[in-house]
Amino acid sequence: MLTVAPALAAEVNLVNSRDWTDVYSVMLHSALEGKKSYFVNSESLVAIARTIPQRDSITVYESDNPFIPNLAAQLASSGYTIADTIESDDFNIDLARPGADVVVLSEDSSRLSLPAAAYAKQTGSWVFIVNEDRLAAIADQLPQAGTVLAIGNFRRDYLEQLRSSFDKWVNNNNIYEDSRELALLFPEHRSTVILTDGKAIEAEYFNTKNPVVLSGSNKLVDATYDFLKENGIASVIVVGNSLATVGEQIRARSNKTISVFVKFGQSDAQGLGRIYALTLFPLPKEEIGLTVDRAVYDPSKQQLIAYFRNTGNTGLYELSTLSVKDQGEEIATAADEESVFLGAGEVLPVVYEATIDTTALTNATVEFFTSYGIAPNTLDEFLTMRNRFGPPFALPLEVAEVESGGVSLDLGSVIYYKGLNRIAVTLTNTGEKTAYFRVSINRLIVNGLEEDLVKAGSVAAGETTTVYLPVKLDDIDLQENKEFKVTLVYGASEDALFQSQRQAVPFTYEEAGLLSRLKSPAALAVIGGLVILVILVAFFRRRKSN
């Protein structure tokens, strides 16, 4: 007779917080202690019951912003054993390991935290996640730490307090390259890597012995594939069904010499053989999305105009190659020379030079092979048709003359006023109607990091207006910025910004605070007059009193 021994009870940790850095810190702390850990990602206890066996003893880590208040009491009433409850307003600081090696990254680089977790587990390191609130505490602890490894970009004001403690800094201005370089720093070479799009915390990243490398969610970055081949990677684990497309691209490009495994679910706590979806905790991210509304060919100008629309809540960059086909035969091609910026919600007409014989067209279409992302060097998404996993995105080609609608804008001066913390952009409407516009300044270096600034407005026919974009640049920014990359889109109404122009304007700035204004000749003349007036008034009052 076969006797199956009952599973032993385990001591596990459960983190109850809405803050991803708390969840991350407890998961890493547990991995370094060799304990299993779980997290709450909703206000329901159902997921906990599915994943944690009732025989286990639970230590609850609860932040000051929990998903479920009084979680320990609710679990106890449901039959769980609560070993302890640990409370904190910042687990990233409170759970740090004094004297241990340290990995440091900025909270703005949340996706890099997942490759860092796998590295920290293998090297016994703690991961500090820097933001404004914990900057001072981290700066105080780094000098007492072991080896300090920094990853990714940091704001300049962060670096001023942290840089002197860095023993090594992995920073390629590209999160994908940073993750690959970190994989090469593992103590032992691994023939397996985990690919992730870096959008959510999952237990695998804290428990694996293998490096974690970042990837686009539906696009295999060429440099990532080269990394796999050059480093003898035999197998890849992708976490979540969303990356299955990337897995297929790896299998196809390697001719199946690289094995691909997809982790798509987890078993139930009761051991009944049920499979549930992975438990994920989303990392902060921008919602990005892109589509093309229309593709219009103007035979009078020999221009193809594609109307790109940013459907997300943050700015993005796109880079496209276009193929115009009629009856399946390619009749023209065009491409962006460099990546193009679109603000959140913006519709941007991008003009391509093309020569097409419209008299012979029967059923012409335009195929877009478009990559996009939040930065020019991280175009990690493909534009695809609905229910398709790869390009192209296709639209019928319209043939029409595109009218300006009597609207024409000229870009004048672009100046940063240091005392006012404003960039002033001067626009002149040389057309016949009121012009509505959106002006953006792209990839401006602010506190050491690139930012995009956007401002909308209107200007009447024949008038000149100055648009002010708020931004504070420090003295180093003033040296590092060499030009203003300006994109101007405009039209006859707010919903029809169908014209665009892009210019690189040399970077210039002026000291435009109150003091500098007082030093101007006109201001000095006025001040001098006021002083004389005050003296005369005082003289006559004194004379009258006498």
Q: What is the pLDDT of residue 531?
A: 59
CB 39 within 8 A of CB 86: no
Thinking of the domain 409-512, which architecture would CATH place it in?
A: Sandwich (2.60)
Query: Burial level of 396, CB count in 10 A (0-12/13-18/19+)?
Result: exposed
346 closest CA partner among 452, 195, 258: 452
Which residues are 279's β-sheet partners?
none
3 state SS of 412: strand
CA angle, 376 as apex, 370 and 378 as ends, to 5°?
A: 80
Percent of the chain surpassing pLDDT 70:
89
Cα–Cα distances (Å) from 491 to 37, 427, 496, in that order, read 55, 14, 5
Interatomic CA distance for residues 305 and 296, integer angstroms: 5
Burial string for 500-516 (b: 16+ CB within 10 Å, else e) reads bebeebebeeeebeeee
Q: Domain extents for the chain?
A: 290-395, 409-512, 520-545
What's at 15, amino acid-wise? V
Q: What is the pLDDT of residue 331?
A: 93
365 closest CA partner among 389, 331, 321, 400: 331
Q: Per the structure block, which two tokens stand in for 24?
A: 């991350």
Name the stretches of the chain with pLDDT < 50: 1-6, 272, 513-520, 522-523
Q: Per the structure block, which two tokens stand in for 494?
A: 């707010």
- Strands 102-106 and 126-130 come out as parallel
Q: What is the pLDDT of residue 3?
A: 35
CB 415 within 8 A of CB 125: no
Q: What is the pLDDT of residue 268?
A: 52
CA angle, 240 as apex, 239 and 246 as ends, to 5°?
A: 80
Burial string for 469-497 (b: 16+ CB within 10 Å, else e) reads bebebeeebeeebeebbbbbbbbbeeeeb
Report the predicted TM-score, pTM, of the whole model to 2 decimal places: 0.77
CB 349 within 8 A of CB 500: yes
- Intrachain domains 290-395 and 409-512 with the same fold: yes
Cis before 391 (ω within 30): no
Which residues are 427's β-sheet partners?
411, 465
Q: What is the pLDDT of residue 221?
A: 81
Interatomic CA distance for residues 379 and 319, integer angstroms: 8
Query: Burial level of 197, CB count in 10 A (0-12/13-18/19+)?
Result: buried
Interatomic CA distance for residues 249 and 390, integer angstroms: 10
Cis before 392 (ω within 30): yes
**CATH tag, 290-395:** 2.60.40
Q: What is the pLDDT of residue 90?
A: 96
